[in-house]
Structure 1
Amino acid sequence: MPILRRVLSWALVALMCLAFQASAQDNGPDYAAWERLASEVEADLELGQASDLRLENLRSQVAIWRDNFLEASEANAARIETLQSQLDALGPVPEEGQEEASEITQRRKELTDRLAFLSAPVKQADEAYRRANGVIGEIDDIIRARQADALLELGPSPLNPAHWGQAWEDLRSSLSKSWAELERRWASDLLRNKAKTQLPAIILLAALGFVLLTRGRGWARSLARGADKFGRNRRAVWRFLISLGQILLPMAGIYALTQAVLVSGLAGPRWSLFLESLPVWAAVLLGIHWLAEWAFNDDDSIAVMPLAPEERVKARWFSDVLAALYVARGLLEVLIQYDRFSAETLAVIEYPLLLLSGLYLFRLGRVRNDAAMVGSKAAKEGDAGLFRLRFARLLGRAAMVLGVVGPVLAAIGYLRVGSATVYPAIASLAVIGAILVLQSFINDLYALITRQPDDQNENEGLLPVLAGFILTIASLPILALIWGAREADLTELWTRFREGFQIGETRFSPSDFLVVVVVFVLGYMLTRLLQGALRSSVLPRTKIDQGGQTAIVSGIGYIGIFVAAIVAITMGGLDLSSLAIVAGALSVGIGFGLQNIVSNFVSGIILLIERPISEGDWIEVNGVHGTVRDISVRSTRIETFDRYDMIVPNADLVSGTVSNYTRGNVLGRIIVPVGVAYGTDTRRVEKILMNIARDHDMVLMNPAPYVVFRGFGADSLDFEVRMILRDVNKGLSVRTEINHQIAERFTEEGIEIPFAQRDVWLRNPEALTGEANKDEGAPE
């Protein structure tokens, strides 16, 4: 097929480029040969009569030279940088009227001459690179303009009946020539005798091909059914691998049959081209059928497209018909290669295939657009299933639009536009289906390797998501070729990627990015290893408290990541001094828009260094009590006693008032108030309360507990028991236990704990008496 040929030719050009660069790196560019080629190309461009094929060939040659010049322009970069730094060390050139030591002047001249000598090849290569880049740009502009003109050229309408007769005659003549070629070669005694000498090989290849073609798919299905006894993940992986046999075995059979015919020597040029393309067409038919079975499978655990069960049969049928129409167009292209049909004939014989392709593309898009989630796999996959459903509907709408627009444009006379609309849409749907099926297989394989339970969602891992992203990126060049991009366009993108970009006087290439990423990852890993060693082995053996250990580990983490970033950027070739302007602009933005974030960040550093609070401390902030659980550079997480998290900006902790009840130790005082009735022996009450406090295990004897006789209350004699506890975090339970013991001892000693009593004084009781008498004398 054309796409496969374009991919192969692109790969061949890339290999030629690599070989040329490998041979040219030893001796440097041959500028005389380049001058001859550049002059020839520029002359062709001025005339404007070169064919597209010649322009493409010239472009590929110039692109090889350009890559060679790019390599040469980066030669001696390290030595040039060293010489420049040596010159900078000597200081600026003295102004007129000023003198410097003769040794420095002589050394400056030597370094300048050496720098000019090493810079000359670099400048020459850079000039040649820019010239080659300009030539390539001119060639690309010419070819794109020609392609646009050819695509938008208005041709004859296939609906004009005046063209039908001639088109039918041309098609019949082409088929007759093909049949006549076969008859002519069969009538040749020489060719028949040659075929007889190859008869054993022909029979073997034909028998092998017939068996594989007729029995291969059945064998693959039988092996796949044997996986039903396995668990879900293992069964899915096994079925996928075995199902590939439904493509490979019949393809091998068709290839064997075509080789049997080619070995016989009876196939002429027409039939040889047909037979060479036959395995490719078989791959298209079998591959799309296989993709349709996986994408629209009746089993929800296998299907990757969320369709209603009754719609999946239709989707599989439409996919098979589109594959057959796609192959039929390939067959027509083979005939066109030998028979130069007129524009009218091409329009008439291609339009029926295009119309049917657009019709079935529309119907397939309508099926996807009407996709329902009821009982489908998407309903069980949450957000992933919903995204897949929306994506399927988007594809359906696009297929419906393209299926209508393409045939309509072709009917008007824009046959190339119609063909460039419908057939790439069919191929794109196949590529997207392959991506979805492969991603589903990677999900199952990941679940099998990680031994996930069969009922667990396979989309929970990060690796399957990354695999899907990589598959999508890898498919972009294929989709670009499908939609008409030239191989040169892709190679140009790759060249631009290898060339990198320039910041100031520094050029960054993909290798620089790779160095930055690798160095940063290594620095990050070393930082994490150092943090782990400190946390588990070093710090626990010191006398530093837990909060201090956490602060040290966090600080080393921030410093390590910062140093790793600086080292990675420096090794990548970025001069940090060139970022001064950017840093100045950022400082203005920080001063106006990020001042709260910076304030919290600085406050977090202060908290980690001064450690007024630490993880595990009981603190009070804005009237809320809680335990510090985590201190980050921006905020602190406090878990309240009601078991919810409160996020406090670090600036509030530094600038506000914070009560820390357990800073340095967990000792703390609690106060238990109690009242007794008037008339009770206060000395006796004091003695009882003191004994209760001293007998509790959590109460310290130094400082000793103390009983305070606070005074005479409105309803009772008020006392307080003040105690220092070993662990103030247990103050609530100690308070409860002390209250229980006080109630029990007071009951044993006959001491009354009073409750509030009030006397009610009536200002005019006679009025209430009169009202009562009236009520008694009232008639019933």
Structure 2
Amino acid sequence: MPTISRGQDAPPADYVTTVATAAEELRSVDAAFNDQLAEDELNQLRLRVSGARSTALDAVETMQKELELVSEREAQLGPKPGEGEPPDILAQRQDLTQRRGMLEAAIKRGRLVAVEAQQLADRMKASRAEQISTEVAQRVQSPLLPRFWVEFANHAGGDIGRLSRLIDAELRTLAVSLRGPKSWIGLAGFLAALTIEIPLRLLSRRLGQTLLLKVAPEGRIRRSAYALWRLVVETGLAIIAVWVLTTSLRWASLIHPRWEPIIDAFSSGVGISAYLTSLAGAVLMRGQKSWRLLPIEDDLAGGLRRWTWLLAGLSLLYMVLQSVSVAMSASAPAMSLMQMFIVSCQVVLFAGMLVTLARLRLAAQVEARDLHQTALSLLRIVAWLVILISLFAMLAGYVALGLFTVRIVSWALIIGATYYLTCLFADDLMTNMFCSSGRIGRLLVSGLGVRSGLVDQAGIVLSALLRISLTLIAVAALLFPFGTGFEAIVDNIRGLADGITIGEFTLSPGAIGRALLVFMVGVAVVRLLQSWLENKYLPRTAFDAGARNSISLITRYAAFLLVILWTLASLGIGVERIALLLSALSVGIGFGLQAITQNFVSGLILLAERPVKIGDLIRVGNDEGDVRRINVRSTEIELGDHSTLIVPNSELITKSVLNKTHANPLGRIQIEFSVPIGLDITPIRGMVLAAFQNDSRVLAEPEPSVFIDGIADGRVRFNCFAHVAGPRDAYGARSSILIDLLQRFYKEGIDVGTVPQKLELTTTGASLGPASASSGSDSPK
């Protein structure tokens, strides 16, 4: 019995400790969680829960693999005997049993921790949703009522005083720092930020266009890639510029500590506003119609572009005002008035955008002719309803609801435009990378032998998969304002990545991608092997064309079977599961797929025994032709009129087939005719042999022969035979010999004909006598 090594495995105690640590982290989060937590605190707890769940699941996956190794070792030891087992083997068996028990217990505990973490995450999600509902449902005094303005006036003095003190604190800091030795740092940072934001941004546009004109192929991919270039580069430059500015201000000690949150909010607002303006510029491309993705005119692009600048500025203003209100501890009426101002500006902005769209659409005299225009009209109606809801909610005192509504509209616009841009780029990228006329496509076609149509189809399929992934991400991002934080979005994506578990089998995107990669590599290897066999090895052997085809086909199908098994194994489907599936489907295969199975087995018999091979001239029923291809299911036969007869392989195995080139490839010519009995047959025999000899296609061996088949009705019947190189030459040679022979008979005045036919007419019980038909003068058969 071989000794089984155990030194490379992690002790089960380590797994138990890992799961216990995750469980302790989960209990700590559960103790800290309550419904009154702020959004930031709740997001931090979500991150901890997500980490604990991931740790538990990773430990479970590792322990599952370790448990499989334990099972393999137990199988190597074999069944436990009754008595007399060697001590070392007994010790190994006991150790494996103990290890199995610890692993199974730890796996159960790890799964339980993952379930508890998911339940806690769901509770947090529900708590955040309830908080949002509570916040949105809060009502303040309506701005249409005098009481609101009275309360605002009562608190105005205090708000103005607190704002003044906040401003005075920063002014004093500036007065002191500007007289210091580091004041130039702030000025240098401001100039650097200005340089990054304006000259570099314009230079990046020209650089992107130049690079894409040189590198990218012609078509829409240049426009989509340039739009994505502008979005990423210009947003990145704006973030770098604001980081340089704020960092230089901090280094120069120009920021008062109370203004730090305001500066942070300003930096975040600049990043969001930069993304919004860059996104609008990438999609609209004002003044650059040739680079524009949307099928709109310059007037509409310019009109919408102005509103996007206002929307970006309003977003920045809201974040700054919100942080200032918190920093100065503004009163509730002041906060409500600030929010009402933002909602009013957002409503006016969205209404202006819709009016601009309607005015330009009316000026262009565009009619809603198709489903696309109808959908846009419905979206405009929905947008107007949302605007009215926000306005009436604010006027009724539900300021939080109005603010929440306009924020959702802004967020939806950002997500929709980003989704549109990324989907176009993903489609263009995949269809151009995997294109039969592209660089990668030509490499696949010429190097691996992949058909050009398959390359194009791969591009379309990969594009669809990418767009589906982007759609799921966009839907998850749309739920973010409803309390689904990015951590929850990441968890959902991770859950999709973990896959779907069916029994003991887990189907995940990673496993599918791995299986696709394995299949593609396997197919490439099979094609290379087949190309080597057909072009290098088999032509140098003594096999004929049919044998070479049989070897090539059998190798191909066997290799593809191995590739399929390899692909299924990469999905986690072992051979034993495949055997179980096939046994479960055996009844269905036996009845529903009986004909297909019969043809498949017959195809294998044809390839192995080769009763019919490629190049044979065969007759199946009334059809005769050359075998051109033998597949696993059917055989292709080319008939005399160049049409193709597809015969199921079972027909060639279970029924009679005439193979004219199976054993002896020679073709035989047979000519039958009759002459009057009074003629000398010796010259006639000499004419026939001379006609055979004059045709170069007639073989000397076996030599031609002339026989007298019989004498009847005053005529002598001749039956003549000759051979040619192959059955395909027999028909043409026979025609030429008949023409020559008829000319010789005509010159000698010999009456040649066929065997006379006899016809007897009878009635029931009495014969009317024989009635014979005289022999005709038809041409010989």
- The alignment's TM-score, normalised by the length of structure 2, stands at 0.71
Distance in structure 1 (CA, Å) of the matches to 2:309 and 2:96:
69
- Cα distance 1:533–1:183, how it changes in 2: closer, same or farther (>3 A)? same
Amino acid of the structure 2 residue aligned with 1:556: T
Rounded to whole Å, the distance in 2 between the matches of 1:293 and 1:245 is: 12
Residue 130 (structure 2) pairs with residue 131 (structure 1):
no
Task: Give the drift of 1:726.
Answer: 0.7
- Over 3 Å counting, the alpha-carbon distance change for 1:559 and 1:213 in structure 2 is closer
Q: Go from structure 1 to structure 2 and tell me whether the alpha carbon gap of 1:149 and 1:723 turns closer, same or farther (over 3 Å shift).
A: farther
Alignment of 1:54-203 (within 5 A): 54-75=41-62, 80-85=67-72, 87=74, 100-103=82-85, 111-117=93-99, 119-120=101-102, 123-124=105-106, 126-144=108-126, 146-147=128-129, 150=132, 161-162=144-145, 185=170, 188-194=174-180, 196-198=183-185, 201-202=188-189
Aligned partner of 1:432: which letter? Answer: Y
- Asked if 1:233 is matched to 2:232, the reply is no
| Per-residue deviation, 1:285 | 1.6
In structure 2, runs of 5+ residues without a counterpart are 1-9, 327-333, 394-400, 443-451, 755-781
Residues 669 and 734, structure 2, Cα contact 8 Å, conserved in 1: yes
Matched, 1:723 2:722: yes
Task: Tell me, yes or no, if structure 1 residue 475 matches structure 2 residue 470.
Answer: yes
Q: Are the equivalent residues in 2 in contact too, given 1:83–1:111 (CA < 8 A)?
A: no
Query: Cα 1:708–1:459, aligned 2, differ >3 Å: closer, same or farther?
Result: closer
Give the Cα separation in 2 of the matches to 1:354 and 1:131: 47
Counterpart Cα distance in 2 of 1:155 and 1:70: 41
Distance 1:586 1:237 in 2: 47
Q: Is the alpha carbon distance of 1:158 and 1:624 closer, same or farther for their aligned partners in structure 2, counting shifts above 3 Å?
A: farther
Conserved 8 A contact 1:262-1:272: no
> Do 1:297 and 1:312's aligned partners in 2 also have CA atoms closer than 8 Å?
no
1:407 maps to 2:407: no
Residues 1:274 and 2:266 are matched in the alignment? yes
Structure 2 CA distance for partners of 1:492 and 1:252, relative to 1, 3 Å: closer
Q: Quote the offset at 1:221 in angstroms.
A: 9.1
Q: Taking structure 1 as reference, are residues 717 and 135 closer, same or farther at Cα in structure 2, changes over 3 Å only?
A: same
Identity %: 21
Alignment: residue pair count: 695
Q: Which residue of 1 aligns with 2:763?
A: none
Q: Name the CA distance, whole Å, in 2 between partners of 1:572 and 1:554.
A: 27
CA drift of 1:206 comes to: 6.3
Write the distance in 2 (CA, Å) between the matches of 1:614 and 1:706: 32
Q: Find the aligned partners of 2:49 and 2:557 in 1 and give their Cα distance.
A: 50
Per the alignment, residue 316 of structure 1 pairs with 301
| Distance change >3 Å, CA 367–CA 749, structure 1 → 2 | farther
Q: How far is the alpha carbon of 1:631 from its aligned partner?
A: 1.8
In the alignment, the residues of structure 2 paired with residue 481 and residue 714 of structure 1 have an alpha-carbon distance, to the nearest angstrom, of 102
Residue 704 of structure 1 aligns to a residue whose secondary structure is: coil
Tell me if the contact between 1:366 and 1:396 (Cα under 8 Å) persists in the aligned partners: no
**Matching of residue 339 in structure 1 with residue 318 in structure 2:** no
User: Hey, what does 1:420 align to over in structure 2?
Assistant: 408
Q: Residues 333, 682 of structure 1: CA spacing in aligned structure 2 closer, same or farther, 3 A cutoff?
A: farther
Match runs of 1:7-86 below 5 Å: 29=17, 34=22, 36-43=24-31, 48-75=35-62, 80-85=67-72
Query: Comparing 593-602 with 701-710, which one deviates more in the overlay?
Result: 701-710
Deviates more, 1:422-431 or 1:668-677: 668-677
Aligned to 1:350: 343
Post-superposition shift, 1:471? 4.0
TM-superposed CA distance for 1:625, in Å, is 2.5
Amino acid in structure 1 at the alignment position of 2:477: L
C-alpha distance in structure 1 between counterparts of 2:441 and 2:576, whole Å: 51
Deviation of residue 548 (structure 1)? Answer: 2.2
Report the equivalent of 1:208. 195
Q: Equivalent residue for 2:661? A: 662
Quick one: structure 1 residues 742 and 443, their matched pair in 2 at CA, closer, same or farther if it must change by over 3 Å? same
Give me the whole-angstrom Cα distance separating, in 2, the residues matched to 1:218 and 1:49.
48
Structure-1 residue corresponding to 2:278? 286
Contact 2:63 2:107 (8 Å CA) reproduced? no
* 1:256-655 to 2 correspondences below 5 Å: 256=241, 259-260=244-245, 263=248, 268-269=259-260, 270=262, 273-293=265-285, 298-299=289-290, 307=295, 311-313=296-298, 316-317=301-302, 320=305, 323-324=308-309, 326-328=311-313, 330-331=315-316, 332-339=318-325, 346=339, 349-350=342-343, 353-354=346-347, 356-357=349-350, 360=353, 396=376, 399-400=379-380, 402-404=382-384, 406-407=386-387, 409-410=389-390, 413=393, 415=402, 416=404, 419-420=407-408, 423-437=411-425, 439-440=427-428, 449=439, 461-462=456-457, 464-465=459-460, 468-469=463-464, 471-472=466-467, 475-476=470-471, 478-479=473-474, 480-484=476-480, 485-493=484-492, 495-496=494-495, 524-566=523-565, 569=568, 574-578=573-577, 581-655=580-654
Contact 1:615/1:630, CA 8 A, preserved across alignment: yes
Q: What is the deviation of 1:212?
A: 0.6
- Give yes or no for contact 2:325–2:335 (8 Å, CA) kept in 1: no
2:736 aligned residue? 737
Summarize the Cα distance change of 1:421–1:753 in structure 2 as closer, same or farther, 3 Å threshold. Answer: farther
CA 1:221 to 1:78, structure 2 compared with 1: closer, same or farther past 3 Å?
closer
Q: Given that residues 678 and 716 in structure 1 are in contact (C-alpha distance below 8 angstroms), is that contact kept between their aligned partners in structure 2?
A: yes
Deviation at 1:694, TM superposition (A): 2.3
Q: Distance in 1 between matches of 2:29 and 2:46?
A: 9
- Structure 1 residue 201: deviation in Å? 1.9
Q: Distance in 1 between matches of 2:589 and 2:500?
A: 28
Which residue of the partner structure matches residue 766 of structure 2? none
Letter in 1 for 2:463: G
| Compared CA separation, residues 459 and 219, structure 1 to 2 (3 A) | farther
2 CA distance for matches of 1:293 and 1:427?
18
What whole-Å deviation, never above 9, does each CA across 1:702-756 have from its counterpart, x for those lacking one? 333345677899999986654322122234433443354446545655668899x
- Rounded to whole Å, the distance in 2 between the matches of 1:322 and 1:670 is 92
Once residues 412 and 613 of structure 1 are traced to their aligned partners in structure 2, the CA distance between those partners, rounded to angstroms, is 85
Moved more, 67-76 or 583-592: 67-76
- The alpha-carbon deviation at position 360 of structure 1 amounts to 4.5
Secondary structure of the residue aligned to 2:641 is coil
Please state how far the C-alpha of 1:563 moved relative to its aligned partner.
3.4
Q: CA deviation at 1:551?
A: 1.6
Q: Structure 1 442/509 Cα, relative in aligned 2: closer, same or farther at 3 Å?
A: closer
Structure 1 677/532 Cα, relative in aligned 2: closer, same or farther at 3 Å?
same
- Pair 162,558 (structure 1): closer, same or farther in 2 beyond 3 Å: farther
Aligned-residue Cα RMSD (Å) equals: 5.5
Q: Do 1:70 and 1:125's aligned partners in 2 also have CA atoms closer than 8 Å?
A: no
Describe the shift of the 1:276–1:513 C-alpha distance in structure 2 as closer, same or farther (beyond 3 A): closer
Matched residue SS, 1:41: helix
Secondary structure at 1:29 match in 2: helix
Q: Deviations over 1:232-279 (max 9, x none)?
A: 936988888778776647974895488457635667554663355325
Equivalent pair of 1:365/1:398 in contact (CA under 8 Å): no
1:468 maps to a residue whose letter is: S
Contact 2:668 2:723 in 1 (8 A): yes
- How big is the shift at 1:436? 1.0
- Consecutive unaligned residues of structure 1, counting only runs of 5 or more, are 1-21, 95-99, 373-388, 756-780
Query: Which secondary structure state, in structure 2, belongs to the residue aligned with residue 198 of structure 1?
Result: helix
Question: Could you tell me which amino acid in structure 1 is paired with residue 119 of structure 2?
Answer: G
Q: Is residue 639–residue 645 contact of structure 1 (8 Å, CA) maintained in 2? A: yes
| Contact residue 201 and residue 237 of structure 2 kept, 8 A | no
Decide which moves more: 557-566 or 435-444.
Answer: 435-444
The range that moved more, 80-89 or 65-74, is: 80-89
Deviations 1:748-770 (A, max 9, x none): 55668899xxxxxxxxxxxxxxx
The alignment's TM-score, normalised by the length of structure 1, stands at 0.71
Is contact 2:519-2:564 (8 Å) kept?
yes
Deviates more, 1:679-688 or 1:653-662: 679-688
